[in-house]
Amino acid sequence: DVKVTQSSRYLVKRTGEKVFLECVQDMDHENMFWYRQDPGLGLRLIYFSYDVKMKEKGDIPEGYSVSREKKERFSLILESASTNQTSMYLCASSLAIPGHAGGSPLHFGNGTRLTVT
């Protein structure tokens, strides 16, 4: 079974701090994704990556950056945390790009619930 591990289950940070959310997958997947989930808004795509050192912006990249130095690890960085970034953050990986012909599904981690005070 694919395992996607997010380093923290709960995190509390102060406004203005630089925050790193780590995600590691163990199945040699090419594709990795970061979402945030807020009540009533569903999941919103922040960034994704199709290969090492490659990144693409999703729908809400403002205030975030990402790093993918190794295939198995995809980090989400909040450059200067703000209270409106309080949310559940979900990382996912896939073997093939899900929406493409021959696509395969996303495998999610259990999420990091981040509170910014």
Partner 1 sequence: SQQGEEDPQALSIQEGENATMNCSYKTSINNLQWYRQNSGRGLVHLILIRSNEREKHSGRLRVTLDTSKKSSSLLITASRAADTASYFCASRDMRFGAGTRLTVKP
Sites of contact with partner 1 (CB under 8 A): 4, 33, 35, 40-43, 45, 48, 59, 88, 90, 92, 97-111, 113
Q: Which of these, 30, 19, 43, lies nearest to 72 by C-alpha position?
A: 30
Distance in Å, CB of 3 to partner 1, minimum: 11
Distance in Å, CB of 72 to partner 1, minimum: 17
Those residues with Cβ within 8 angstroms of residue 65's Cβ, 6 or more apart along the chain or in another chain: 47, 76, 77, 79
Distance in Å, CB of 65 to partner 1, minimum: 19
Residue with tokens 């997958």: 25
The answer to whether 11 touches 116, Cβ cutoff 8 Å, is no
Those residues with Cβ within 8 angstroms of residue 2's Cβ, 6 or more apart along the chain or in another chain: 25, 26, 27, 29, 93, 107
Residue 50 or 79 with smaller CB distance to partner 1: 50
Distance in Å, CB of 21 to partner 1, minimum: 13
Residue 104 or 115 with smaller CB distance to partner 1: 104
